[in-house]
Amino acid sequence: MALMRSIALMLCLAAGALRAETAAPHLELQASRDFGYTLGSLIEHHLRLWLPDGAELVTPLLPSPGAVNDWLDLRTLRWKQESAHVVRIDVTYQVFKGVRDPETAVIPPLAIAYRVGGTNAEIHTPEWSFGLIPMIPPATPDDKVMLRGDAHERQFPARSAFYRFVGFLSAAALGALALAFRFGLIPGLGRRRPFADACRRIARLRSASPDVRLDAGLRAIHEALAKTHGKPVFPAMLDAFFEARPVFAPLRAEFEAFFDASQRHFFEPGAEEADNSAHCQALEGFCRRCARLERSA
Amino acid sequence: MAFLKKLLPGTPVLGLATLAFLGLAAYEGLEWSRFERDNRALAEPGRITLTDDTDPELVFAAARAQAARGNEQEALRLYNTIIREGTPEFRERVHYNIANLYLREAAPLWNAVGVLEYARVDTLVALAKESYRAALRLNPDAWDARYNLEYAHRITPPPKERAKSDFQGSKSSVFATMPSLPGGGP
């Protein structure tokens, strides 16, 4: 029995909703309050418009912002389709009515245009009364009213500009410091780059004879290796060196060739090949590749 | 050091960021210097030299200084040169001060001689009301503008009685009403 009653109730509700959708359009107006407004106040009206089946709002014909009458402005009018049959319209008015004593003012009806069955029709918002109060005490004579003074000029925001200047300058200084650190330009703090130093030393000897260049280049790279590893590196120690500094591992073959060349140059003078300038170029290239790996480490 | 090195971005990024920060610092430094100079000028608005490039805020200060010296016409001229410039807040202040200039002229007249200066008071109050409205459209919370506009409404002269439009003349032409030689006679 209860189930039957529930079903009947639901059917009634559904029928009511259906009737509402097919019935004549109607409006519901919501406003926050209707008292306590003064000249200059904004009044917001929230309208909900129910339209019948097949009807739609004619948005180009909606009232546009501007003067409604000599004391009322329509400031904004926004609409939103809430559902197939319901449109929400938010209207903001501004009151410019000056009063000596509390008064009741009336906002005139607003015409909302809609189209149904190919013809335009209008629905009007209801008149809306509200209480308007003066700001100047009514009993004050006109010649005793003190006008409010002029607006003053604004100071330019020098302080905030200064703070931004200091902030950006500090950031730039930090960036420069980081760059200096990266390039080893900070004494005692910068990264040690022994291979880069060795490359510079080798490059400075370009005008020297190939023998001198080869000799100095080999020594420079030996020193760079020792500085990098923290102790002199011999061919037998290469495994330990690569284990400690795996970044140089891709150059293992070149390191072995370097040690071979060093062995020949310093301990087997007779076995040295005649073309030292080619050796010098190879050595310089090897040093550069080491320096590149050193920088990426 | 290795930890620090890992934290740092790559050299190109670091270089570009440093240059960008340096550029921004230069811009803000120039702004700071300009603001300091303009603030010094605001302290002595009577000495502001006006050119086409003068900041509107300085023109505003100069206009206020002119008004304070009693030179309302020059003040109005200056305000009208900057009425469309700057932010809405700035334009609201300009409209409000213009309205005050009109109302300050109208109020003493109205309170002293009333309707005897009808035309002048009516015009000044109408101009003041229009400017207050413009200010309030830009900022509805401008309470000083609301207050002064209410006062402007209080001193608005009542509308003049309209000329009667129910003249029921029986003559076909206005010339017919002019006196002429009396007709008839011996």
Least reliable range by pLDDT among A21-25, A33-37, A64-68, B79-83: A21-25
ipTM of the complex: 0.76
Q: Work out the average pLDDT over A88-102.
A: 95
Residue B22 makes CB contacts below 8 A (sequence gap 6+) with A168, A169, A172
Phi-psi region at B172: left, alpha or beta (left = phi > 0; alpha = psi -120 to 50): alpha
Confidence at residue A272, expressed as pLDDT on a 0 to 100 scale = 54
Bridge partners for A113 per DSSP: A122
The alpha-carbon gap from A143 to the nearest alpha carbon of chain B, in Å, equals: 6
- Which residues in A lie closer than 8 A to residue B28 (C-beta atoms)? 161, 164-165, 168
Cβ–Cβ of B31/A175 closer than 8 Å? no
Q: Give the domain ranges of chain B.
A: 29-82, 87-158
Instruction: Select from 2.60.40, 2.10.260, 3.30.1220, 3.40.50 the CATH code of A21-136.
Output: 2.60.40
Q: Work out the average pLDDT over B124-143.
A: 96
Residue in chain A closest to B28 (alpha carbons) equals A165
- A275-294 confidence digits (pLDDT tens): 677 788 888 889 999 888 88
Give the nearest partner residue to A158 out of B25, B32, B145, using CB atoms: B32
Q: Judge whether residue B168 has pLDDT over 80.
A: no
Confidence at residue A183, expressed as pLDDT on a 0 to 100 scale = 74
Query: Rounded to the nearest 5°, which phi and psi values hold at A67?
Result: -75, 130
Q: What stretch(es) of chain A map to CATH 2.60.40?
A: 21-136
Phi-psi region at A36: left, alpha or beta (left = phi > 0; alpha = psi -120 to 50): left
Residue B149 makes CB contacts below 8 A (sequence gap 6+) with A39, A40, A96, A98, B99, B128, B129, B132, B133, B136
* Separation of alpha carbons B55 and B154, rounded Å: 37
- B26-67 confidence digits (pLDDT tens): 999 999 999 999 999 999 888 888 888 899 999 999 999 999
The alpha-carbon gap from B164 to the nearest alpha carbon of chain A, in Å, equals: 24
Least reliable range by pLDDT among A134-143, A288-297, B103-112: A288-297
Q: Work out the average pLDDT over B176-182.
A: 55
Least reliable range by pLDDT among A11-15, A287-291, B19-23, B76-80: A11-15
Cβ–Cβ of B24/A41 closer than 8 Å? no
Do A49 and A27 meet the contact criterion of CB atoms below 8 Å apart?
A: yes
Work out whether the CA dihedral A180, A186, A189, A191 comes out positive or negative.
positive
- A194-234 confidence digits (pLDDT tens): 888 888 888 888 788 888 888 888 899 998 888 888 888 88
* Separation of alpha carbons B25 and A136, rounded Å: 51
Confidence at residue B2, expressed as pLDDT on a 0 to 100 scale = 55
The alpha-carbon gap from B172 to the nearest alpha carbon of chain A, in Å, equals: 40
In DSSP notation, A2-59 reads HHHHHHHHHHHHHHHHHHHHHS--EEEEEES-SS-B-TT-EEEEEEEEE--TTEEE-G
- Which residues in A lie closer than 8 A to residue B22 (C-beta atoms)? 168-169, 172
Give the nearest partner residue to B111 out of A143, A148, A168, using CB atoms: A143
pLDDT, chain A, mean: 85
Q: Judge whether residue B139 has pLDDT over 90.
A: yes
Bridge partners for A120 per DSSP: A115
What value, to the nearest 5°, has the Cα angle with vertex A237 and ends A233 and A241? 75
Q: Which of A265, A178, A270, A183 is nearest to A221 (CA)?
A: A265
E strand or H helix at B137: helix B118-138
